[in-house]
Structure 1
Amino acid sequence: MAEFHLPPPTPFLASPGEPAISWLRWYSGFKNYMTATNLDSDDVADGRKRAVLLHCLGIEGQRIFQSLGDCPTYKDVVDKLESHFGPRKSVILERHRFRQRGQRPGESISSYVATLNEHAAKCNFGTLTDEMIRDQLIEKTHTPRIRERLLMEPDT
């Protein structure tokens, strides 16, 4: 098999300022690079994976990383970078999105319920998850028959 050389991804943060793309998108591309170059195999030393990731961060990314504390393993580095650069999670925002999500024209009930489940997973509803999905379905479905049936169910 012919060997090919794949250039590393564009540095995540080459200079001060905001990254050009989100951490999640960049890291997804980085993982593809690691797979394509076989650097993600178990045979590759953890220290090498760590060094490749840090190299690909770019100069400013490396500077920020150095301020985040000690990370001896590749997984530690990824976790620390994810925590620093990853999206901030807001339960309030996720609940707002959940409550705004109505059934779209032409969307099946099963697809709508699946989407509600995905949104609810980010909302920390705990034991109330099923009830919240039911209430959202009652409120935002385009199918009156389903709404009526759910409204006729006993509270238990």
Structure 2
Amino acid sequence: MAVTGQDSKSDGEKINILMYIMGEESEDVTLQFTQQPSTNIIFERFKFNSRVQNSGETIESFITSLHSLAEHCDYGMLKDQLIRDRIVVGMSDVKTSEKLQLRDKLTLTECITIAKQAELQAIQSKELLGRQTQINKISATRRFTGANKGFRKHSERNQYEGYTRTR
């Protein structure tokens, strides 16, 4: 550009001058640099449709993953409905899935709310059952230990009085 005196031009103007000098071939060359590789819609949809909730994965994480997978699927206006369907079909909680399948006109928002509530309720139930089981174990241990102490005292007394111990 220094030879032609065009060195002071902006980068955009320099590119336009270069493309003009190159002629029609410049369009083919520049398209090779500017075009993004096309995504394989079929493969992206396969990844989306085969996604299921993994063991130990939270429903929140599963839903987030579905949203990011759906971005590359070109679903358009069906995107929310297909995410909703994938949540219902792919979630690990079978009871909640069945409950969602029975709902008429289920929206994505309702589906997410119900799934999150069911997961939270399951976590809380496990915690309550764990505490109840622990309380029952403590109560049973106290009863069992108390019964043994009484038996030992009775046996020891019998032994001292000259009686034989029978079991």
TM-score category by the smaller chain?
0.3 to 0.5
Question: TM (normalized to structure 2)?
Answer: 0.43
Bigger relative contact order (CA 8 A; separation at least 6): 1
Structure having the higher Rg: 2
| More helix per residue | 2
